[in-house]
Amino acid sequence: MTHHAAQISAIVLGGTGYVAGELLRLIAGHPRLQLAAILSDSQSGSLVSDAFPHLFSVYPTLQFASLEAVESVLRAQAACAIFSAAPHGVSASRVDHLLNIAEQSNIRAHCVDISADFRYRSTAAYEAVYHHPHAAPGRIASFTCALPEHLPLSPTPHIAHPGCFATAILLASVPLLALKLTDARFFISGITGSTGSGRKPTDSTHHPLRHSDLYSYNVLTHRHVPEIIACAKAATGTDAEFNFAPHSGPFSRGIHVTVMATLKNAMSSADVQRAFNNYYRECFFVKVGGAAPRIKDVVSSNFAHLSATTDKNSIAVTAVIDNLTKGAAGGAVQWMNRLFDLPEHSGLTATAPGWT
């Protein structure tokens, strides 16, 4: 007799945003997660496939749910995976509310928050960056902010996923610090696709303005730098300096970062690549090679491709990821797999389309 493993219900917060849509796509292909509800205040009762036409084949009749409906769904579960792709400043209160219900009802619930609301260890650190009070300060201690590649086991029941730029930069820089290969001072150029700025068009994301163009923004003042510093220290114990110049690229999905630093001792490119391969030897989703990584090779996948080049005293590490997948929804599913003791790659190995 074949025994099928029990399905784990998933609730998604984040309405019609790009990351919420990516979460729905990944959950649809997951062997153990089953979507129970997706919350949207403004779109409650409307078809999910109207907001995400590409998901019609898997969610032809699913409707966005109100908070009250989500609460009812949650109370009916024995176990629940809660993903929040709600905006920062909104996510914390919603997550805290649902986790309170789960705790009161003895439901096994784990949350992965993709917003910035639980990435900092204190309200002061959060408020210094986002300039408004934290909505759920009592919940902060139950979240850990880290990449799964840099933290074998979460000490908390819930995870705050680092931002997409932070994901790529940390994958490239943490081994340098952990292996003490370089000084703790990094200079970074990063390029992101337009989906990284959300669904609502702005002057910096509207396609006619962004097409065939490339420009920097928030140079040396990007709000995710304090988060990167904190995650790098948590992973390595080292206080590092990150000098970051982000750019808006003329493509929709993907992130390309180049991290440069000064080597402590002369090393060949091959030596560094071997060191990176050894550091990430247990990490299914990180591939290190000699060729320069390309965004098209990782778009819509949960993989990160890295390469390193040295010259005398300098090193440049290049990393590419999909900002919506590895940098957000895919990384969140990867963490949720761990929290529920599932194989880390569950639901994340579908082939990427290529040539996008």
The 3-class SS string of the chain reads CCCCCCCEEEEEECCCCHHHHHHHHHHHCCCCEEEEEEECCCCCCCEHHHHCHHHCCCCCCCECECHHHHHHHHHCCCEEEEEECCCCCCHHHHHHHHHHHHHHCCCEEEEEECCCCCCCCCHHHHHHHHCCCCCCHHHHHHEEECCHHHCCCCCCCEEECCCHHHHHHHHHHHHHHHCCCECCEEEEEEEECHHHHCCCCCCCCCHHHHCCCCEECCCCCCCCHHHHHHHHHHHHCCCCEEEEEEEECCCCCCEEEEEEEEECCCCCHHHHHHHHHHHCCCCCCEEECCCCCCHHHCCCCCCEEEEEEEECCEEEEEEEECCCHHHHHHHHHHHHHHHCCCCCCCCCCCCCCCCC
Respond yes or no: is residue 164 known to be catalytic.
Answer: yes
Q: Which of 80, 111, 145, 164 is catalytic?
A: 164
**Active site members:** 164
